[in-house]
Amino acid sequence: MSPVMSSLARTWREFRTIAFLTLDTLFWSKKTIFVAFISVFILGLSILARLILTYNWVRAPFTPAQVFGTLMSTAVIHFLVVFITLFYGTALISEEVEGKTLTYLFVRPIPKPVIMLGKYLALVWIALLLVLPSIVSSYLILYLGSDLGPFFEDAGALAKDLGIVALAILAYGAFFSLLGAWLKHSILAGLLYAFGWEGIIPYLPGYLRKLTITHYIQSIFPHDDTPGAIAMLVGERTPPLESILTLVLLAAFFLSTACLILREKEYIIEQ
Amino acid sequence: MTGIVEASGLSKWYGQVIAVNKVSFAVGPGVTGLLGPNGAGKSTLMKLITGQLRPSQGQVTLFGQRIWNNYGLFMRIGLCPEQDSFYERMTGAEFLAALLRIHGFSEAEAGRRTTSALELVDLAAAGDKKIGAYSKGMRQRIKLAQAVAHDPEVLVLDEPLAGMDPVARRETIRLVRGWGKAGKCVIVSSHILHEIEAMTPTILLIHNGQVLAEGDVHQIRDLIDKHPHHIFIRCSEPRRLAEILVRFSDVLSVRFQPEANALTLESAQPDEFYQRLPDLLLRHEIDLEEISSPDDNLQAVFHYLVK
Amino acid sequence: MPIHDLSYRHWSGEWTSHPYRWWVITRQGISLLIQKKRFLALVILSAIPFLVRTVILYLSVVAGNLPFLRVDAKFFENFLTQQLFFAFVIAIYAGAGLISNDLKANALQIYLSKPITRQDYVIGKLGVIAFFLSLPTLVPGVLLFLLAVGFHSNLSFLQQNYWLAGSILAYSLVIILTYSLVMLALSSLSKSSRFAGIGFAALFFFSQIVYGILSHILRSTQVAWVSLTHNLTQLGDFFFAAAPQYRSPTWVSGLVIFGLMAGSAWLVYRRIQAVEVVK
């Protein structure tokens, strides 16, 4: 094997080890029980909606697509994805500092950016693991029945939703990882951003809306018949391709900034 | 000044607080004790040496290269940190193997080195237990194991004996001395003097962020002129000996210990005193039973330089 | 005696009576938080709505009772409801680490080895968070009321609206106690203050989202009781004699809030122990 290939193979091995180490630490913690509970709760809402649909408990009709769209836009994208990436993303570096285990990683012959990237990969894995099954299960619960027409018709929207969720995880995950690497009170900063700043954008004019991640996500959201508040939230949509590209670039920007901060910042481990 | 670890005008401050103040030293192969009271700057200095902190001024190098963000150097360094923190869910073996794989070793090689390191610190039987269930001494030993598993040339050990029982303590001291003899550069920090004394006579004494003394503890003691040397003599006629000795100007004081049939005197020129003493004892036919210098040790050096 | 013994001597003075032991913990907690500049900035930021409302009060007196400058029960209720978000942020900042940091540092054993009871400890910690939660709620609420009284040249406002003082007190206390107890309970569950903070955020926002989804599915606001903030708002309507905003019965909201408080208090009491029983 050439020296370059050998070096790449070694870096990949280190990167993978960091990712698995982080995945193990993140997954087997009380956080996961908490997050899984919320995921299951969302499933519970799907079951309730399905029961209402099946037994006509309410007079005003709604379709599985409407319920699924509402679940996706409010519970999944606007809450679950943000919540998971905030919870885990800010913990990637902060917990190592608070737990005083960062020293072990920093005195290994591995570039600090590789540590950040490995941890980020673990974050994306765990977020996908906790969110995607919940979405697919909700879809199945709401759509499966005697008439499978809508099930197949809206499958394209489901695939788009899964893609959007993945993009959202990438972008939010990178942003909150940056906050975790940079700030001491990263959770509070993350909460203020996610539920403060992104919560007030309906009231902001013009280009200010574009200073949020949620704008680009909502711009590519496939469910047009969700509640009117969503339309107000988006205002003028950014074209889909531009939105996707922006999200990817944002993720790359936040992640590279996080790598830079991890590389240059001194983390004071209290004795 | 040549050494494996070198510092030149090294300073580190946090806001208004100067933790390390214009420190310069060179440490080569063998064991060097980094000694100082609490708050002296030992931990900060160790963090600077191991690249966890960036110098505010000056530089610190290992093998002639700056350490900050020079991750390639970490193949050659092993650090046993002071803090008692681990990935508690992992077993001792998993912990070592993971860190070795981060080092870049293959899975097979990491496994082999894990077994070897666990045997070295006498944790082979407990390797499959979760670290969260380890006793304090076992936790300290696993920390030591992760520092040496990749066979580094430089070992930086921050309070390595903390929490260990006497048997483990003795064994660790033996290991440290062995690593020093094998040519590794071992820097051990402690504020417990007799631990350092048991490991090495070479010290780096730090106080208020500055190096007060560097080198062999006995040589340092000799240089401390301000404090006359205490010499303990047990003989057949201590009072008659005292009568003879007080005539010499370098003898500053004599104190009798009747219960031990001995005296302790202070001499400003110990070399001259030791040269003169045998002839005096012979001429005056006084039998010498014991002679020693109670303050030719680290405790005295520490006390005289720091207090 | 000619030479005095300067070795250790037992305290022969008065001992603080037991009912005040909790105050030591509260005072310490408050002084530690006050030293944090960012936290103080947050508290000052939470005073901005109060300043805005003070200007509105002034203008309503000077310019007359115009529709958009009306000062009535709704004015005070809306102020306190708006402060729920600031109270949420302050609760997390001040409360997330209150017990979790003690658990992390094993300080609980030290506290409870002193002559204080578990109740003293819990009340002391509760005092810290309650104090800071009163800063964006009770204190400016009462001040607004006093300013409203003071800006009028006669006692007409007071005569017509004297009961608002009680409403402000009641609504503020419900907010303060609910947030304090829930935050303390979450803080007692983990050694990580991060976990406590995020848990509180989850309760705060997720319950709102669940309400949003359920109300959309069921086409009704009868399910407002699932949301923490909607329950508080419902009780606010009750205290200020306003028409309820949601179709959910007020007594259900009261029951939910009371249940939350009681459950939280029980959880805190269970978690605060000097020894760990290993079975």
Instruction: State the best of C100, C189, C193, C217 to mutate against chain A, taking most chain A CBs within 10 Å.
Output: C217
Q: Which domain does C100 fall in, by range?
A: 20-271
- pLDDT over 90 at B55, yes or no: yes
Q: How far apart are CA C146 and CA C138, in angstroms?
A: 12
CA-nearest residue of chain A to B77?
A107
pLDDT of residue B285: 93
- pLDDT over 80 at B2, yes or no: no
- Domains in chain B with CATH codes: 5-216 (3.40.50.300), 224-306 (3.30.70.100)
User: pLDDT tens digits, residue range A120-133?
Assistant: 999 999 999 999 99
Highest mean pLDDT among A200-214, B36-50, C63-77: B36-50
Q: Cα separations (Å) of C57 from C48, C53, C156, C159?
A: 14, 6, 15, 17
Contacts A–B by Cβ distance under 8 A: 78
Q: What share of chain C is helix, strand, coil (3-state, %, to 5)?
A: 75, 0, 25
Instruction: State the best of A21, A27, A104 to mutate against chain B, taking most chain B CBs within 10 Å.
Output: A104
CA distance, residue A191 to nearest chain B CA (Å): 27
The low-confidence residues of chain C, meaning pLDDT below 70, are 1, 65, 274-279
Tell me, yes or no, if the pTM score tops 0.95.
Answer: no
**Who has greater pLDDT, C175 or A197?**
C175
Q: Is A62 exposed, middle or buried (0-12, 13-18, 19+ CB in 10 A)?
A: middle
Contacts A–C by Cβ distance under 8 A: 80
CA-nearest residue of chain A to C194?
A187
The letter for the amino acid at C50 is F
CA-nearest residue of chain B to A16?
B102
What band does A228 get if pLDDT is binned at 50, 70 and 90? very low
Instruction: Please provide residue C152's backbone torsions phi and psi, each rounded to the nearest 5 degrees.
Output: -85, 145
Contacts of C198 in chain A (CB under 8 A): 31, 34, 83, 86-87, 187
- pLDDT over 70 at A225, yes or no: no
Please judge whether A30 and C194 are an interchain contact, meaning their C-beta atoms are less than 8 angstroms apart: no
What band does B231 get if pLDDT is binned at 50, 70 and 90? very high
pLDDT of residue B304: 75
Please check whether residue C9 lies inside any domain of the structure. Answer: no
A177 within 8 A of A255, measured Cβ to Cβ:
yes
The domain total for chain C is 1
Q: Cα separations (Å) of A18 from A15, A186, B51?
A: 5, 22, 20
Contacts for C36 with CB less than 8 Å, ≥ 6 apart: none
Q: What is the mean pLDDT of chain B?
A: 90
Please check whether residue C1 lies inside any domain of the structure. Answer: no
- pLDDT over 80 at A36, yes or no: yes
What band does A261 get if pLDDT is binned at 50, 70 and 90? very high
A22 within 8 A of A47, measured Cβ to Cβ:
no
pLDDT of residue B147: 96
Which of B137, B123, B181, B134 is CA-nearest to residue B155?
B181
CA C122 from centroid of its chain's CA atoms: 15
Per-residue pLDDT, averaged over B177-202, amounts to 90
Contacts of A31 in chain C (CB under 8 A): 195, 198
User: pLDDT tens digits, residue range B113-156?
Assistant: 999 999 999 999 999 999 989 998 999 999 999 999 999 999 99
Three-class DSSP category at B164? coil
- pLDDT over 60 at A231, yes or no: no
Please check whether residue C3 lies inside any domain of the structure. Answer: no
User: pLDDT tens digits, residue range C112-143?
Assistant: 888 888 899 999 999 999 999 999 999 999 99
- pLDDT over 80 at A252, yes or no: yes
Q: How far apart are CA A109 and CA B303, in angstroms?
A: 40
Per-residue pLDDT, averaged over B25-44, amounts to 90
The letter for the amino acid at C41 is A
Which of B170, B213, B183 is CA-nearest to residue B25?
B213
Q: How far apart are CA C196 and CA C92, in angstroms?
A: 8
Instruction: State the best of C103, C193, C210, C220 to mutate against chain A, taking most chain A CBs within 10 Å.
Output: C210
Please check whether residue C100 lies inside any domain of the structure. Answer: yes
CA distance, residue B61 to nearest chain A CA (Å): 15
Please judge whether B52 and A106 are an interchain contact, meaning their C-beta atoms are less than 8 angstroms apart: yes
CA distance, residue A8 to nearest chain C CA (Å): 36
Please judge whether A25 and B43 are an interchain contact, meaning their C-beta atoms are less than 8 angstroms apart: no
C218 in A contact zone (CB under 8 Å): yes
Please check whether residue C140 lies inside any domain of the structure. Answer: yes
pLDDT of residue C65: 63
Provide the token pair at A61. 């009709």
Strands in B57-62's sheet, in edge-to-edge order, are B17-27, B5-14, B57-62, B65-66
- pLDDT over 60 at B35, yes or no: yes
Helices (H), A56-154: 64-70, 82-89, 91-98, 102-106, 112-143, 149-153
B21 within 8 A of B33, measured Cβ to Cβ:
no
Task: Count Cα neighbours of B234 within 13 Å in the Cβ-side half-sphere.
Answer: 9
Contacts of A269 in chain B (CB under 8 A): 52, 81, 83
Q: What is the mean pLDDT of chain A?
A: 86
Please check whether residue C52 lies inside any domain of the structure. Answer: yes
